[in-house]
Chain A
Amino acid sequence: MNLRQREPLIFERSVPGKIGLDLPKLDVPPAKDTRPAHLRRTSFDALPSCSEPEVIRHFTKLSLWNYGMDQGMYPLGSCTMKHNPRLNEKVAGLPGFADSHPMADEALVQGNLALIHTLQEWLKEITGLAAVTLQPSAGAAGELTGVLLIRAYHVANGRKRTLILIPDSAHGTNPATAAMAGYEVVDVASGADGTVSFEDVTDPATGKVKKGLTSLIAEHHDEIAGLMVTNPNTLGIFEHRIDEICKAVHDVGGLVYMDGANMNALVGVARPGDFGIDVMHMNLHKTMSTPHGGGGPGAGPVACTKALEPFLPRPIVVRDTEKIGEGEVPKHTYRWDWDRPQSIGKVHTFFGNFGMLIRALTYCYSHGGDGLRTATLRAIVNANYIRKELMGVYHLPITSPTMHEVVFNDEFQAKNDVHTLDIAKRLIDYGFHPPTIYFPMVVHGALMIEPTESESKEELDAFVHAMKMIAKEAEENPDLLHQAPVTAPLRRMDETTAARKPVLRWQPA
């Protein structure tokens, strides 16, 4: 715990002459100064001078103002805050992996190539798709890779296509990615059940008509490069017509990208390759438990069909084979295949966030095929338990079956002028990290709760209790919620001034 409520910036603590890192005495002649005079580093304005204990204390105190997974439920919807096994950390630090060099000859890194190949095989079986690349560094990087594959496919087939269809419930990275890949984005309406609508949808409030998939396909036809769909979608609902969606897009020559941010609801239960998906990414930092690190590093592998395989980023790991009799038998050696003339090229300097791939494979090995399915089911059970316990206390705007996460909103509380933000901040006072709020945008004032399979009934009950207490407070003493949080190191922050007059670094007085 932090007894002191303020830790100054390290720069205010710096005393010239102190140091926290030392090196052996130089055992070769000092460097001759060959630098042009104007390129010589002379001074620093901010780098602090501190001893090791001072730096350790500084960071330890800062850390104590963070809420972490080991302190309790972290029900951020869509983020999949599950337990981070310590074994995975240990394995990623094994010197054989940690010391290995990305520019070393392939004969020297057979363990790494075996690891990449093995993880690819696991992901192929899990997704039901034919090929995998582990190069993308995060979900958004995976999306971009996937859309670039779609683009390369159309270009190779001599087709000029300009549009990507994206349901209005999608995460913001989908349209941002499509735009980065040079496509125009067209919104697809969601129906009352929260899934992609084939029919046009009229907003009851505004009378505005949003187009459904059928009319968009009729209208744009061969301008459509593809469709990006999240499944289960951002409401935690399975797109139950996903195979029909794929067929409709395929019929006009388009391809379907699946955002696998919620793949943790499908592992061992259903496979995107079986739905007709052409290409997808999954977030190893969600589904495979690699730690979120306060904002990364993540990993966003991409899986695709045989038809898209030639376009995958290079290099590809290939397992050597030998001829025995009539057949080719796999050997225990691997190599890089750089000779990929149709490849979209590299999407990472080297081979992706390799350390995260190690953790993900360790997670896979620990669970095994059976454990992966059990984890999926438990995540779904936990989400449904919360849904059941909080139904009637909070408004459930869309009642389709819940997979791994459930979206409520503040409709019941709004009549007392208590809103989603107030509920979220009050949860902090009850000792929980708030859920994801105001997303997906198709639900007004969304509270998106994802418990994951890591939570015990005891922890779920404690969370449910807190949510019920907050609903009660909203009736009896709404101001308590407007003031929340009151137990955190800081109260609500002035984000408007932060954006209007940005102070983005410390500067010496």
Chain B
Amino acid sequence: MRYLPSADGEDRELLNAIGVKVAEDLLSGVPDRLLMKRPLDLPPTSSELEVLRDMERMAALNKRFRTRFLGAGAYAHFCPTAVDHQISRQEWFTAYTPYQPEISQGTLQHIFEYQTLVCDLTGLEVTNASLYDGGTSCVEAALMAVRVQRKRTKVLVSEGLHPHYREVLRSGFASHEELSLVDVKLVDGVTDPVDLAAKLDDSVAAVLVGYPNFLGHVEDIKALADLAHGKGALLISVTQEAMAFGWLEAPGKVGADMACGEAMSFGNMTSFGGPFLGFLAVKDAHKREIPGRVVGQTTDLEGRTGYVLTLTAREQHIKRDRATSNICSNQGLIALRANIWLQLAGPEGLKGTAAQNAAKAQFLRSRLLELPDWEAVDDGTPFFNEFPLRYTGDLKAMRQTLMDEGILPGLDLTPHLKAYKNCVLWCATEINTRHQIEHLIEILARVASVVG
């Protein structure tokens, strides 16, 4: 086996030194009745070349698309070549959590810089080394809000949150019988302020609102925060498309008390939904309630600046059942990808990419609306790089035609949101060219004329 440093001579030397005849003699701690009496019923060892061929065959069973207009929580963006090259360094990807700061300054300084950037993007003061993904970041944010709000037990959730985020929230809250989740309706594709006001009372700890929301719409987070604050509730902004931070004001600067969500868009592939990058940023006053690893700046014995894991008194290995969360492993290497992407992009690169996203999405929408079968939905509601449109033709057949032509269409919203039956959630990013959009329109026009 190519990964094992095994050879008859060396194995013998080790066993002799230990004083046993065969390795199996070392299993004396396992009672005989519990030992496996047969080999694993699995295929035998394979060479690197055989495994590569097998895995290539499996990968080829997935259909690849030249053109993609699907977002809905996983976005195809351009990633500079330097990102892959850098994270392939063994110093980054093989290292463990930086428990020994003297020999982990690389990871620690990177996390400190990453934390700085997440705070900059969100307009908040404290963040952690990452959470698993957008959905679980909502759970951690909501549970944290309940902790800091003491006796308040209700959390309001806008129906504009990604349906998967809402389901993850429900799974995470199911075991907390003292807590409840209450949905807030949408109007014109954004959180309904009337319904929100009606549901806000002294028992509400926090309100979660998409920014932009699942439909790609820009919520007026300021107005919603004012409503929440009026009843002493916290406003948690949930961003499933972090590229929007280059287009929209930082949530912390327009009233959000906490910001969480998904930052896979910075330097990652859609990779079937993982590994992605959950984030959570909070105000300084709440820093001792934040879950997960946090890196802080300090000095060594000789007064030189360095970085360490800090505020560990919140964490499971110290506090056990009174910890702020059970999280330990997070998404370290994915946070590194995001950090490299953001440093390459800088303020101009981020704003420029975001502006291209908005431009391509607006162009796509206006071209689609020129076709006979497409109807505007939530007209006038501002959006970033995604928007819903209703299709009046045979939606299934239309989507199939596009897929046959090598185009991955937007999401069929029918199974996800009741009010959006026969609607498609279209997404365009900087990687979609005008040519791709025109090609899409051509095919759709053809579909329309065949049916019409």
**Interaction A to B:** yes
| Interface pair B104/A67, CB less than 8 Å apart | yes
A95 at the A/B interface (Cβ < 8 Å)? yes
Checking A31, A60, A457 against B362 with a beta-carbon cut-off of 8 angstroms, the contacting residue is A31
Q: Which residues of A contact B269 (CB under 8 A)?
A: 98-99
13 contacts between A and B (CB under 8 A): A41-B246, A59-B340, A66-B92, A66-B98, A103-B70, A103-B74, A126-B40, A138-B330, A172-B320, A173-B317, A297-B331, A345-B170, A434-B100
Chain A residues positioned under 8 Å from B103 (CB to CB): 65-67, 428, 433, 485, 488
Give Cα A354 to B411, complex, Å: 21
Q: Which residues of chain A come closer than 8 Å to B383, judged between CB atoms?
A: 34
Neighbouring A residues of B97 by C-beta, 8 Å: 292, 294-295
Contact of B61 among A31, A114, A344, A434 (CB under 8 A): A114
Most buried by B among A39, A102, A347: A39
* Set of chain B residues within 8 Å of A56, measured between Cβ atoms: 82, 85-86
Minimum CB distance partner of B415 in chain A: A338
Could you say which of A39, A108, A382, A504 contacts B115, with CB atoms under 8 Å apart? A504
Give the chain A neighbours of B86 by CB distance below 8 A: 56, 59-60, 63
Shortest CB distance A356–B (Å) = 6
Who on chain B is nearest to A241 by CB?
A: B31
A280 contacts B by Cβ under 8 Å: no
Bound CA–CA A364/B403 (angstroms): 33
In the complex, are the beta carbons of A137 and B132 less than 8 A apart?
A: yes
A303 at the interface (CB under 8 A from B): no
Q: Does the CB pair A101–B326 fall under 8 Å?
A: no
Cβ B300 vs Cβ A297 within 8 A: no
Contacts of A96 in B (CB 8 A): 56, 58-62, 64
Whether A52 and B80, one on each chain, are in contact in the complex, defined by CB atoms closer than 8 angstroms, is: yes
Contact B116 A505 (CB under 8 A): yes
- Nearest residue (CB) in A for B301 is A491
A490 to B98, CA, bound (A): 14
Interchain CB contact under 8 A, A344 and B36: no
Q: How many A-B residue pairs have CB under 8 A?
A: 679
Stretch of A15-23, A202-210, A247-255, A410-418 at the chain-chain interface: A15-23
Q: Which residue of B lies closest to A376 (CB)?
A: B23
A468 adjacent to chain B (CB < 8 Å): no
Q: Other than the known A52-B80, A346-B168, A401-B29, what 8 A-B pairs have Cβ atoms closer than 8 Å?
A: A24-B433, A102-B274, A140-B328, A151-B175, A295-B329, A375-B4, A493-B299, A504-B127
Bound-complex Cα distance A298 to B328 (A): 10
Which residues of B (227-279) have their CB < 8 Å from a CB of A? 245-250, 254, 262, 269-276
Q: B287-326, CB under 8 A of A: which get 1 and which 0? A: 1000001111111111011101011110111111111011
Check if A494 sits within 8 Å of B340, measured CB to CB.
no
Band of interface residues on B: 35 or more
Nearest-CB distance from B326 to chain A (Å)?
4
| Neighbour of B80 across the interface among A21, A47, A101, A453, CB < 8 A | A21
What chain B residues lie within 8 Å of A59 (beta carbons)?
Answer: 86, 110, 340
**A50 at interface by CB-CB < 8 Å:** yes
Is the beta-carbon distance between B14 and A47 smaller than 8 angstroms?
no
B43 at the binding interface (Cβ < 8 Å) = yes
- Indicate if the CB atoms of A291 and B109 lie closer than 8 Å: no
Report whether B6 and A293 are in contact in the complex, using a CB–CB cutoff of 8 Å.
Answer: no
Residue of B nearest to A274 (CB): B34
B356 at interface by CB-CB < 8 Å: yes
Chain A: CB-nearest residue to B61: A111
B184 at interface, CB cutoff 8 A: no
Are A368 and B300 CB-contacts (below 8 A) given A70-B94, A108-B403, A348-B135? no
B residues less than 8 Å from A105 (CB atoms): 403
Contact with A along B380-423 (1 / 0, CB 8 A): 00110000000000000000000100001001000000000000
B344 and A55 contact, CB distance less than 8 A: yes
In the complex, A226 has a CB within 8 A of chain B:
no
Chain A residues with CB below 8 A from B90, complex form: 68-71, 84
Determine whether B285 belongs to the interface, using a CB cutoff of 8 Å to chain A. Answer: no
Bound together, the chains give a CA A488 to CA B23 distance in angstroms of 37
Knowing A50-B346, A55-B82, say if A35 contacts B273 (CB, 8 Å). Answer: no
Q: What B residues does A456 contact at CB under 8 A? A: 5, 10
Contact B102 A358 (CB under 8 A): no
Residues of the A chain whose Cβ atoms lie less than 8 Å from the Cβ of B247: 35, 41
A141 touches B174 (CB 8 A): no
CB closest chain-A residue, reference B3? A83
Q: Residues of B contacting A459 with CB < 8 Å?
A: 5
Return B350 CB to nearest CB of chain A, in Å: 6
Once the chains bind, are B296 and A503 in contact (CB under 8 Å)? yes
Report Cα–Cα, A47/B222, bound state, in Å: 24
C-alpha spacing A95/B355, complex, angstroms: 27
A285 to B132, CA, bound (A): 14
In B5-50, which residues have CB < 8 Å from any A CB? 5-6, 10-11, 13-15, 17-20, 23-24, 26-31, 33-36, 39-46, 48, 50
Q: Which residues of B contact A111 (CB under 8 A)?
A: 58-62
Contact mask A225-250 → B, CB, 8 Å, 1/0?
00000001000011010110000000
Cα distance A115–B272 in the bound complex, in angstroms: 12
Tell me, rounded to whole Å, the shortest Cβ–Cβ distance linking A204 to chain B: 24
B:205-245 near A, CB below 8 Å: 218, 220-222, 245
Is B63 in the interface zone, CB < 8 Å from A?
Answer: yes
- A110 CB to closest chain B CB (Å) equals 4
B92 near A35 with CB under 8 A, answer no
Per-position contact with A for B181-199: 1 when CB-CB < 8 Å, else 0? 0000000000000000000
| Contact yes or no, B433 A293, CB < 8 A | no
Pair B171/A148 contact, Cβ less than 8 Å = yes
Residue of A35, A144, A238, A292 near B94 (CB, 8 A) is A292
Contact A346 B135 (CB under 8 A): yes
Chain B residues near A498 (CB-CB < 8 A): 296-298, 308, 310
Chain A window 186-213, contacts with chain B (Cβ cutoff 8 Å), 1 for yes, 0 for no:
0000000000000000000000000000
